[in-house]
Chain A
Amino acid sequence: MMKRHTVAVLVNDQPGVLQRVSGLFGRRGFNIESITVGTSEEAGLSRMVIVTTGDDKTLEQVTKQLYKLIDVIKVVDLSANPMVGRELALIKVTAEPGARPEIMGVVETFRAAVVDIGTTSLMVQVVGDTDKIDAMIELMKPYGIRELSRTGVTAMVRGSAR
C-alpha cells in the first residue's frame, strides 16, 4: 500500500553528502516529495528530513540503502510514531489596499503573519503541517498568488523518545 513516510537521516556534515543521499533516491527510483537539511544537536552532524511515498517494502529498501552510505549515521522513520511535522511557506499575494482587510482576516484565522507589505502586494508567512499550508494556499488563490516558496517538512517524534 502506498503511504507517505517522513524519514529523518542523520548524516556527517561533509561536502557532497546531500548529493549522495538525493542521488541514491533518484537512481533507485524512490520519490522525494520534500527534503530539508540543517544542523543537528551534535556538532559535525546534519539532519535531513525527507518525505517520500511508497509501500512498506520501498521504505525498507530506502532505509537499507541509506545505511549503506558511509556518511549516514542513523535513519528513523518518524511517521511510524506520533510526530510533529512542520513547514513554512511564504506567499506573495496580490493585495490592492481595498482587499487587504479581507486577506488580513484569513491570515489571523490561520495564525499566520504578514511579513512584508508592497504597494500592491502582501507577503504572508504561514507555519504548520502540510495540510494547513495547502489550505492557506487555496484561500490565497482567489486574490492572485504572485510567488510561492515552501521549505518542505521538518519533523520530530513527540514525547521524550529520541
Chain B
Amino acid sequence: MVAQHATLRSKEEIMESLRKPEVITGSEILLRSLVLEDVECVFGYPGGAVLYIYDAMHGFSDFQHLLTRHEQGAIHAADGYARASGKVGVCIATSGPGATNLVTGIATAYMDSVPLVVITGNVATTLIGTDAFQEADITGITMPITKHSYLVRKAADLPRIIHEAFHIANTGRKGPVLIDIPKDVSAELALFEPVTEVNIRGYNPTVTPKKLQVDKMLKAISEAERPIVLAGGGVVYSGGHEELYEFIKKSGIPITTTLLGLGAFPSGEELWLGMPGMHGTYTANTAIQDADLLINIGARFDDRVTGKLSGFAPKAKIVHIDIDPAEIGKNVPTDIPIVGDVKTVLQMANKEVKYAEKADTWRAQLAASCKEKPYRYNDSEDELKPQWVIEMLYEESNGDAIVTTDVGQHQMWAAQYYKFNKPRSWVTSGGLGTMGFGFPSAIGAQMANPDRLVISINGDGGMQMCAQELAICAINNIPVKVVIINNQVLGMVRQWQEIIYDNRYSHIDLAGSPDFVKLAEAYGVRGFRATNKEDARAVWQEAMNHPGPAVVEFVVRKNENVYPMVTQGSTIDQMLMGDSE
C-alpha cells in the first residue's frame, strides 16, 4: 500500500557500514547521522541552500524522502509522524522562504511538545549577515518556538549536533529542535565519526520523582472524598498509558482526559468522564469544580481547560505531575508538586496506591451524571449533521482508526464523538490551533503506521490551507481517507459571532470553495460526496473499499454549533448546553 522503504541491504549491514569513520561531506554526514538515529522517513522540499544535501540524496535509499508541495505540508507531516509513532519527526527545507514556511509548523509542535528535528539550509557562512539571496535568520526567528537550535559552523560538528538534537527533541519535555546548516558547511569535507554519547551540561531532565512527594499524593488520595484525575498529552508522550490504567483501576478515581490526552485512557471505561474544558462534558467540568482533590497528570492547565482561572477547581487540593517544572504553579497554585516522567511517577505510585474508599458516593454520583448528561445533539433526517457523520465514522472504523483533525468545530466534534481507546490514535493541533494541520499530519501518521486506517477529518476552511499535499498521496499511494465536513462557512468563528458578537457575521462565508470531489480527482485521488445519511454511509464504505487515498466530502448543516460551550471569562461549570438542553 504505502510506498515501501527500499531495503536492498539489511538494516544491520547498513548501520555497520555507516559507523565506519570516513572523510565525507557535511551533507553525507547529515544523511548518515539521520540513518544512525533510526530515521525511516523524511519530509522535505529542496532549494538553493540545500542543493548539496539533495545531491547527496540522489540515489540514496537508506531512508525515504517524501517531496511535499509546500514546506508547511512537510513539517505538519513530520509532526503527524512523530505524534502517531513516538519517534522523532524529521523535515528539511531550504534557506529563507523555505525556512520561514516552517515557522507555523515549528510553533505547532512546540506548543504540543512534539519531538521534531527540523533541518534548514542557510546561505554560506561567508554570506551570513549580508542580506544575501534567500537569507533569513531562522535560528533567531524560531528562538521562542524551539526547544533548542543550532547554527552549524563546521561540518566536523555535525555528528555531535545531530545526535544532541535527537536527544533533546525526544527526552524531557519533548519539542522541536532546529539545525541550520549553511551551504558551505554542507559541502565541506570532514572526518565522520559516529557519536553515541551525549554530554550536555545544562540539560538533565528530572525523570524520577521525589518519593516524599509521591507519598504525599497517596496520602491525599486516601483522605479524598471527591478525587478526580485530569490526564493530558504527557501520559501519551511518556508512554505511560498502561501505568495510568493501572493507577485508575487501583485507586478507583474518576478520570477526565484533555484534548491531547484523548486515548491515554480507554473511553469505554466507567470511570472516564470525557474531556474537560471549553467543549468538554457536563460531568467532567462540574466534577472538577466540585472535587476536593485534583490530580493533574501530564497536562498543563491550558486556558481552554481551566476557563476562568480564579474560579477553577475552587475546593480542590491540587497535585501536579509534570516533567517540566516550569509548568507547575505557572497557572494554578499547586499543593503537591511532583516533577518527573509520568510513566516513572505512576510506576512508583502504583506500588502503593490504595482504593479511594471515601469516594464511593462521588463515583456513583458521577456515573449517574455521565448517563444523564452525555454529549447530545438534535439529529435530523432531512439534513446531514456533522456529529452524526463522526459517529458513523467511529462505527464504521470500529473505533480503531488513527484520526487526525484540523482546527475548529469539526475538531471538537471529532474529539466528542469519536471514542478513543488507544494512545497515539489522535493527532490534533491543540495548543497553537493550526488550521492546515489536519491533512498533512495524516500523511505523516500513515507513513509511521502503514497498516492502520488513517482518517483525516477537516473542515472546508482548513482543507484549503494545505490541499496541495493530495499530490503526494496520489504519487506515493498513501491511503489516507480525507474527510471534509463541509458546512460552507468558517464554523467556529461563525459560532462565536453568533453567541458572543450578537449574530454579526463578519467574513466567514466560504462561498467560492472548489468542488472538492473534482479537486481530489484533479490530483488523481478518488473523490466522493454525500449530502444525506444514506449516501454518507454508502460513499464512506466505498471509499474504505478503495485501496488508495480518497477524499470524502460530507455536506452538512451550516448553522450547527458545538455544545456544551464555556464562554471565555466563565468558570467551566457555567456551560451553554445549546439546543440539546
Chain A contact residues, CB within 8 Å of chain B: 11-12, 15-16, 19-20, 23, 27, 57, 60-61, 64-65, 67-73
User: B329 contacts A19, CB within 8 Å?
Assistant: no
| Residues of A contacting B324 in the complex (Cβ-Cβ under 8 angstroms) | 68
Least CB distance from A63 to B in Å reads 9
Q: Is B514 on the interface with A (CB-CB < 8 A)? A: no
User: B144 contacts A27, CB within 8 Å?
Assistant: yes
Least CB distance from A67 to B in Å reads 7
Chain B contact residues, CB within 8 Å of chain A: 139-140, 143-144, 147-148, 151, 168, 173, 200-203, 324-326, 329-330
User: A70 contacts B148, CB within 8 Å?
Assistant: yes
User: B202 contacts A71, CB within 8 Å?
Assistant: yes
Closest to A66 in B: B326
Provide the bound-state CA to CA distance between A69 and B146, in Å. Answer: 10
Closest to B202 in A: A73
User: B329 contacts A60, CB within 8 Å?
Assistant: yes
Q: List 19 A-B contacts (CB under 8 A).
A: A16-B140, A19-B140, A23-B143, A23-B144, A57-B329, A60-B329, A61-B326, A61-B329, A64-B326, A65-B326, A67-B325, A69-B202, A70-B147, A70-B168, A70-B200, A70-B202, A71-B202, A72-B202, A73-B201
* Chain A contact residues, majority secondary structure: helix
**Which among B139, B147, B173, B203 has the greatest number of chain A C-beta atoms within 10 A?**
B203
Provide the bound-state CA to CA distance between A23 and B139, in Å. Answer: 13
**Given A20-B143, A23-B143, A67-B326, list of 5 further CB < 8 A pairs?**
A11-B202, A19-B140, A68-B324, A69-B202, A70-B203
Provide the bound-state CA to CA distance between A102 and B147, in Å. Answer: 57
User: B151 contacts A16, CB within 8 Å?
Assistant: yes
| Residues of B contacting A12 in the complex (Cβ-Cβ under 8 angstroms) | 201-202
Least CB distance from A136 to B in Å reads 38
Closest to B324 in A: A68
Q: Tell me whether A15 and B202 are in contact in the complex, defined as CB-CB below 8 angstroms, given that A23-B144, A61-B326, A64-B326 are known contacts.
A: no
Least CB distance from A27 to B in Å reads 5
Least CB distance from A84 to B in Å reads 26
User: B330 contacts A61, CB within 8 Å?
Assistant: yes
| Residues of A contacting B173 in the complex (Cβ-Cβ under 8 angstroms) | 68
Provide the bound-state CA to CA distance between A80 and B568, in Å. Answer: 39
Least CB distance from B137 to A in Å reads 10
Least CB distance from B536 to A in Å reads 46
Q: Tell me whether A15 and B326 are in contact in the complex, defined as CB-CB below 8 angstroms, given that A23-B143, A27-B144, A73-B202 are known contacts.
A: no
Closest to A73 in B: B202
Provide the bound-state CA to CA distance between A69 and B326, in Å. Answer: 12
Closest to B173 in A: A68
User: B143 contacts A64, CB within 8 Å?
Assistant: no
Q: Tell me whether A68 and B326 are in contact in the complex, defined as CB-CB below 8 angstroms, given that A15-B151, A73-B201 are known contacts.
A: yes
Provide the bound-state CA to CA distance between A151 and B20, in Å. Answer: 52
Provide the bound-state CA to CA distance between A117 and B125, in Å. Answer: 45
Provide the bound-state CA to CA distance between A71 and B147, in Å. Answer: 11
Least CB distance from B57 to A in Å reads 29
